Amino acid sequence: MLAARVLPAATTADADIDFDISKTAGSYSQMASALTGFAFLAMTIVLSRRDDNPRTKFTPRELDQDKRTIIALLCAFIGLLIATVEYSIITGESGHALVEGRAASEELLAAVGFTVSVYILLYSLVHLIATSTLKLGSEFRRLVAVFIPPIFIYFVTNGLMDVAIALGQPKPPLEPMWSSARIASIGLALWTLLVCGLLWSSSRKLRRELGELPPYIKNAPPYVTLTTAIIATLYSAQMSDVNPAARLSASAAWSWVAISTAVLIYVSASLSCEPGAELP
């Protein structure tokens, strides 16, 4: 899964690098840190609004939504905190790690953890908004379920090109499975949009047929995304301790793209199929 080779003495000046991954990772680290604070703030709002409205009667569905919202926010908080640390580590990469693909590989793995964590944060906001502004909740659910996954998939697959470019220095040709990364990333994003759109369009029929989902299925999305973020981070941390030329093989990189795609579609399907407080 990890490819490594011994490097001759060299400097980053030996390669024509136009994009500094380590500097960009610093910006992503700050973004992930800000979203971590937002997730914590949202948790406090949900936990305190019961005390602020002691006389308000909430339906069982709304109470269940609040419980699942808190769990999702907690998982998003942990995942984004991990992403903050991971991007901070990438910020410290230099020399051969930038030229030979290790930093780009770490960036791809960090993108997997970051996107699934942000998506479960949006998932929690869907449940939070559903109990406050019902019409807005339905529109926001459709936006998150259908249009956000392909955007996140394209963001993750862009990391493939960063690895390919690093491995193609100082000149092409690129290794097999890398040269088609750009076209494949667009196709995968469009395919994800199609799948999520079909799930949403048939969501009412699916809700009638499936009925009330078991708790272990209904409550699973936050745990699935958090597990994915943790495994991706551990895989990246393992890479940071080996040869600076260590990097993801093409098959391993595409496997992580496939995993992130499956997780995002799974959460999207959960949003489409599960009954919410704002849905019939």
In this prediction, residue 272 carries a pLDDT of 86
**Rounded average pLDDT over 247-253:** 83
Residue 41: closest CA among 121, 147, 104, 120: 121
Q: Where are the domains of the chain?
A: 19-273
pLDDT tens sequence across 164-184: 776 655 445 555 566 677 778
159: pLDDT strictly greater than 90: no
Give the CA count within 13 Å in the CB-facing half-sphere of 69. Answer: 25
Please tell me which residue, 167 or 161, carries the higher pLDDT value.
161
pLDDT tens sequence across 73-101: 999 999 999 999 999 988 887 777 776 77
What is the gyration radius of the CA atoms in the chain, in angstroms?
21
**Rounded average pLDDT over 147-159:** 92
pLDDT tens sequence across 13-66: 444 456 678 888 899 999 999 999 999 999 988 888 766 666 666 666 667 777
In this prediction, residue 276 carries a pLDDT of 59
In this prediction, residue 115 carries a pLDDT of 96
pLDDT band at 4, cuts 50/70/90?
Answer: very low
In this prediction, residue 13 carries a pLDDT of 44
Please tell me which residue, 170 or 142, carries the higher pLDDT value.
142
Distances 216 to 68, 119, 136, 222 between C-alpha atoms, Å: 12, 20, 28, 11
Instruction: Determine whether 162 is exposed, middle or buried from the number of CB atoms within 10 Å of its CB (0-12, 13-18, 19+).
Output: buried
pLDDT tens sequence across 193-242: 999 999 899 877 777 776 666 676 778 999 999 999 999 998 888 876 66
